[in-house]
């Protein structure tokens, strides 16, 4: 049986830390309700993360369906 094709190269490389960061984002919206990205960044302390880590974790969480944007642009945990 052939192997499934690899994920698209545009997804980027994941490391162990990004899974932790994705979890922080999901927990923050579960605990505090839907948030605009700027407020979510403040809640998780993204100002202290390495440059680009918040955007990367947010993109992965959205791509995996863990976070979805509501009609008002706020992020919420997937149902």
Q: What is the pLDDT along the chain (79 residues), one digit of tens a residue?
A: 566 665 554 455 678 899 999 999 999 999 999 999 999 999 999 999 999 999 999 999 999 999 999 999 999 999 8
**SS in 3 state form for the chain?**
CCCCCCCCHHHCCCCHHHHHHHHHHHHHHHHHCCECHHHHHHHHCHHHCCCCHHHHHHHHHHHCCCEEECCCCCEEECC
pTM of the predicted structure, to 2 decimals: 0.80
Question: Which residue do the tokens 């992965």 mark?
Answer: 60
Domains, in order of start, for the chain: 14-77 (1.10.10)
| Cα 66 from Cα 63, distance rounded (Å) | 8
| CB count in 10 Å sphere of residue 40 | 21
Q: Report the pLDDT value the prediction gives residue 14, as an integer from 0 to 100.
A: 73
């Amino acid at each position: 049986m052939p192997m499934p094709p690899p994920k698209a190269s545009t997804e980027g490389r994941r490391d162990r830390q990004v899974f932790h960061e994705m979890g922080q984002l999901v927990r923050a919206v579960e605990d505090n309700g839907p948030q605009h990205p700027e407020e979510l960044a403040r809640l998780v302390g993204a100002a202290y993360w390495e440059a680009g880590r918040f955007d990367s974790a947010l993109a992965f969480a959205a791509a995996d369906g863990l976070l979805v944007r509501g009609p008002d642009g706020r992020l919420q945990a997937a149902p």
